[in-house]
Structure 1
Amino acid sequence: MRRALFTLLIALVASAWLAGCGGGPPADGIRAGINERLAQALPPGTVELAGLDRRGSQADTKAPAGETRRVVYFDAELKLLRDYDFGAWDSPGVAGLVSALGAGPRGITGITSGGNKAGDIIRAHGTALYRRDGERWVGVLPAGYRPAEAPTVATDAQRGPAAILDAMRKVIESVQKDASPAQRAVIEQELTTAHANIRARLARVNEGYAIAAGAEHGQYLRFAKALVDGARVRAMPLVTHGGEENLRLLRAGKVSVALAQGDAALEAYEGKGVFAADGPQASLRAIGSLYPEPVHVLVRDADPARSVSELRGKRIAVGERGSASRVTALRVLAAHGLTDKDFKAEEVGLGTGLVALRQKQVDAVIQVIGVPADSIRDALGEMPLRLLPLDERVITAMVGQKAGYFRATIAPGTYPGLHTPVRTIATAAILVTGPDLSDTEVAELTRLVYRHGRDFVARGSAQGAQIAVATAREGLMIPQHLAAAKALDALATPGIPPAKPGGTPAKPVATPAASGARAQ
């Protein structure tokens, strides 16, 4: 009997030991691994691991054949030992912390904008990957991984650009290949922001001023490049996600000029819609309208839908987050009675959306873009597509809202296979500025855009052919810069009065001056 009980006890102990091994390393092993990675990612004496709770584990389904791996989940508390700015450019910052803890951007709390103070607590929901090696669990480092060495200089010390770039490179190399998309997104966003900030500042110092344009190969960027090509103007076009981001960059003072949709500019000026949390952008001024941007709604030709309202239950590519086109697309769908619960929104750009439409991964693509749109034209030449018209009642309602929209028609022949006119709405692509530029700079830029004899098409902007003094005020819903208005009047053909504004100026918000007043 005693022998049987002893055997049972041994079996229970062995079972418990095996269960512990099967569940990954114990808390002490996880703690040691976290401390090691923190030492690699942050300068010495920055943080200490004040608390750790193991939250379970699961098998790694991506483990190589013959290996046993587990993903371990934990909650950690870090205490800052000194003041530290995780957003500083001269240190790994939040990207290093994310890499060390295996946490996504929403998995970390306590990081303060502008810098943290000694004694602050940062909490994280983290993960770590371990490999079974006999009776031990070993932290997994993907092939090609090289631990990042801790910077030897404090974050607020003076360092050269080469040293800063080297520190950032080490952070990137320290990210595991099987890191989550959220982890990689954090690093990509931080680097993209850094790149944009540096280019914007260099543009003002060395090249003059920065122009927030648009996506690579997009119409806004093409126009901006065509504008400065061969011209004696000190400006640098910047790649961005589109109009919404452009207006935010302008408000933040990171650029001096931006391209935007007329409806988005009005919302920014009044502090409504996606800009409600920012408040009115009272200093926003229009230089002038450039060209119309009609709403395009594309479906496969075999799709039974004949109206936008028939897209209920469909997968719709509405545009990238940060683009004004996405906001307008959602507004058009809502006007046709479709809420965000009535369709699946895919937040991708036009090019990606058209590929997905061809591969039947989405059912429709909506884009606000000038005609002719090269990517749409090419897509129509490769596969049978159809442009859906907007309902007449929707057009009447949206134009009547005085929100920067006007009636438009995509004429037959605009795209291959388009034999009948397509009724829709459009907003104007406009050039806007803030308080940075002087009256002289604004006047020079206005003359550069609207003077006769410019061949924008030859310089890569097909939409540039639609730019004219006569339509420079069409669709404007925000105040026009006084220097731009005077320059346009001077450019008007002698004997022909200047064109009247195409829209009603926005009502003053807070303290903005009336339409045409100079930005303060």
Structure 2
Amino acid sequence: MIRLRLLPVLLLLAMVTLTACKRGPDTGMLEHELQHRLDTEFTQGLFRVHGFTRKGSAPSVSHSDAVYLYYDAELEFQHDYNLTAWQALNLGTLAVVLGATPEGIEGYHQNNQQGDLLRVRGRLSYYKTGDGWTSITRMPQKEPMEPAAPDTIHGSGPTYVLQSVRQLLERNPGGSGQSRDDIIIEEFTESLKEIDLRFARLDGMLPFGTGWSGGAYNRFGTAFAPYAAKHGLPVFNYSSEGSVENGLSLQQGHLDFALLQSDVAEVLYKGWVGASQLPQPDLRSMASLWPEALHIVTLEDRNISNFSDLKGKRLAFGSPGSGTRFTARRVWVAAGHTLSQAEGIRGLGLSASIAALESGEVDAIFIAGAVPDPALQLLAQRRDDVRLVPIDTATLDQLSSKHFAYYSTVIPSKTYPGQTEPYRTLGFAALLITSDRTNDNDVEKFLDLVVDSANELTHKFYRTGFISTKTSRLGISIPMHPGATHFYEKLRKKQVDPAREPAPDSSLEETEQSPDN
């Protein structure tokens, strides 16, 4: 009897489930939309949708009449293409076009050929229009959730206090430093970083300075440290403010390895009189990992079209200790401006800079990082008024001719949603750096693991796929560590090229050798 009573309920649930799965357009329309996006928003004729399976649907969190459609697909290369090339549309852009994450794409490497297949897990968005459905290319992000109530931590003593502080910092990342709470958060953060470094030394680990949590440098460290430990090299991923802090910490002996922008490494090594920065001649290079560029971002209603329009505007130059702040200030001065010619230059991190731009607190922000930058991708996905401000040719020529680390680069159109024109800007590289105090064996082992990990870690952090012995000495602006030199000599003798990457663009070849080597 109970089973008979349950039967109508089960049938109703089944009908609801089937109805939910069929929300939105049919499979044919979804497959056509995916092919259209690949041809118009990435590269015409590069991919053919080889197989498509609709996996289900869910209501949109932002629009009551919109729906998310989930899918699995196979994409067949119609000609050879390198999705990790230094100066081309790459995997980061493709993921946004597909409504996927880089981790949701499999089958790519540095030498994909015609006929190869990519396997994709992605999501498309549609909203209801009369009797039909319309694709949504831009959709606002979900409203941030209220912070969860703090967990209760039981106990006493120093460990209890440390746990409580960590929990506090996770829920309160801090603000502009203008309130008492902000000051407390800042001081706790700095103290906790020092404690973590001392713990790492106590445990016999090699501190590796990366960047702020969630950024490209830190994500690489998060993926690499467990891999290195598994292969016998205990590495501690140290979260820092970025390149400048990493370089200074290397000099002070707090770190063994670090990631730095190539321009920051160059100026720290040589010194910068204008900034009262003494030379750090003990810094040594190990490898160039991936290309980076300076983005200057504004919104359409700020009436900024050219670099000269930034004069007198409210600007966010990046947080103190970051490579973004260093590069922004250098470009600003090279263009003939003084720091007083921008009203209220703000020292904000990336998330805070974007928030300030959208709220109207600043008129433009500077972002130094890999291309495409994920935070800028998200901004351009939810807004159609994002604009990139080009750097004038004279400033680019001056910087690239005067400083070995720089080169003029072009970010291809379609790299970011809504970007219809190529964007010329300042290019540099993400460098792996150490000091002359680090022993040769540790340097060789570290480099060996970085190269070997590229394929295995690419689905944890896709930029590891950019790492190649073909490009590992591009843009290096300071002398190389003897251990690194020995590593590359051994590779050359063995005639090993595990990455099989095509020769880099001619525009980068001039930076292939390290100075003073």
TM-score range, shorter chain: 0.5 to 0.7
Structure 1: how far apart are the matches of 2:474 and 2:254?
28
AA in 2 matched with 1:363: D
Structure 1: how far apart are the matches of 2:317 and 2:353?
8
* TM-score normalized with structure 2 length: 0.60
**Which of residues 215, 222, 226 is equivalent to 2:223?**
226
After TM superposition, the structure 1 = structure 2 runs for residues 13-162 of structure 1, keeping only pairs within 5 Å, are 161=158
Q: Percent identity?
A: 28
DSSP 3-state at the match of 1:454: helix
Which range is displaced more, 305-314 or 200-209? 200-209
DSSP 3-state at the match of 1:471: coil
Structure 2: how far apart are the matches of 1:227 and 1:419?
36
DSSP 3-state at the match of 1:236: strand
DSSP 3-state at the match of 1:476: coil
AA in 2 matched with 1:375: A
Q: CA separation of 1:275/1:290 partners in 2, compared to 1, >3 Å: closer, same or farther?
A: farther
After TM superposition, the structure 1 = structure 2 runs for residues 78-477 of structure 1, keeping only pairs within 5 Å, are 161=158, 181=178, 187-206=184-203, 208-231=205-228, 232=231, 233-272=233-272, 276-277=276-277, 279-344=278-343, 345-383=345-383, 384-451=385-452, 454-460=455-461, 462-477=462-477
1:380-432 CA-to-partner distances (Å, cap 9, x unmatched) read: 01112011221111111110002411121111221111122111111111011
Deviation at 1:183, TM superposition (A): 5.5
Which range is displaced more, 403-412 or 364-373? 403-412
1:51-81 CA-to-partner distances (Å, cap 9, x unmatched) read: xxxxxxxxxxxxxxxxxxxxxxxxxxxxxxx
Deviation at 1:187, TM superposition (A): 4.4
AA in 2 matched with 1:332: V
Q: CA separation of 1:266/1:379 partners in 2, compared to 1, >3 Å: closer, same or farther?
A: same
Give yes or no for contact 1:476–1:501 (8 Å, CA) kept in 2: no
Q: CA separation of 1:380/1:453 partners in 2, compared to 1, >3 Å: closer, same or farther?
A: closer
Structure 2: how far apart are the matches of 1:465 and 1:429?
14
Higher relative contact order (CA 8 A, sep 6+): 2
DSSP 3-state at the match of 1:341: helix
Q: CA separation of 1:337/1:276 partners in 2, compared to 1, >3 Å: closer, same or farther?
A: closer
* TM-score normalized with structure 1 length: 0.60
Q: CA separation of 1:450/1:274 partners in 2, compared to 1, >3 Å: closer, same or farther?
A: farther
Give yes or no for contact 1:309–1:337 (8 Å, CA) kept in 2: no
Give yes or no for contact 1:473–1:501 (8 Å, CA) kept in 2: no
Structure 2: how far apart are the matches of 1:254 and 1:495?
34
DSSP 3-state at the match of 2:352: helix
Deviation at 1:452, TM superposition (A): 7.1
Structure 2: how far apart are the matches of 1:330 and 1:220?
21
Q: Kindly tell me the number of residue pairs found equivalent between the two proteins.
A: 338
DSSP 3-state at the match of 1:255: coil
Give yes or no for contact 2:474–2:513 (8 Å, CA) kept in 1: no
Deviation at 1:353, TM superposition (A): 1.0
DSSP 3-state at the match of 2:196: helix
Give the equivalent residue in structure 2 for 1:64.
none
Give yes or no for contact 1:447–1:488 (8 Å, CA) kept in 2: no
Q: CA separation of 1:501/1:253 partners in 2, compared to 1, >3 Å: closer, same or farther?
A: farther
Structure 2: how far apart are the matches of 1:273 and 1:222?
33
Give the equivalent residue in structure 1 for 2:25.
none
Give yes or no for contact 1:267–1:275 (8 Å, CA) kept in 2: no
**Which of residues 502, 505, 509 is equivalent to 2:511?**
502
Deviation at 1:161, TM superposition (A): 4.3
Structure 2: how far apart are the matches of 1:307 and 1:281?
36
Structure 2: how far apart are the matches of 1:433 and 1:449?
14
Structural RMSD (CA): 3.1
Give the equivalent residue in structure 1 for 2:482.
482
Give yes or no for contact 2:404–2:511 (8 Å, CA) kept in 1: no
Structure 2: how far apart are the matches of 1:477 and 1:439?
20
DSSP 3-state at the match of 1:302: helix
Deviation at 1:165, TM superposition (A): 6.8
Give yes or no for contact 1:294–1:427 (8 Å, CA) kept in 2: yes
1:440-472 CA-to-partner distances (Å, cap 9, x unmatched) read: 110011111123752433112x33222111111
Give yes or no for contact 2:473–2:514 (8 Å, CA) kept in 1: no
Of structures 1 and 2, the larger Rg is shown by 1
1:339-360 CA-to-partner distances (Å, cap 9, x unmatched) read: 2122121111111111221222
Deviation at 1:248, TM superposition (A): 1.1
Which ranges of structure 2 fall in alignment gaps of 5 or more residues?
A: 1-156, 167-176
DSSP 3-state at the match of 1:321: coil
Give yes or no for contact 1:308–1:333 (8 Å, CA) kept in 2: no
Structure 2: how far apart are the matches of 1:382 and 1:364?
17
Deviation at 1:164, TM superposition (A): 8.9
Structure 1: how far apart are the matches of 2:298 and 2:234?
42
Give yes or no for contact 1:357–1:363 (8 Å, CA) kept in 2: yes
Structure 1: how far apart are the matches of 2:160 and 2:302?
56
Give yes or no for contact 2:294–2:367 (8 Å, CA) kept in 1: yes
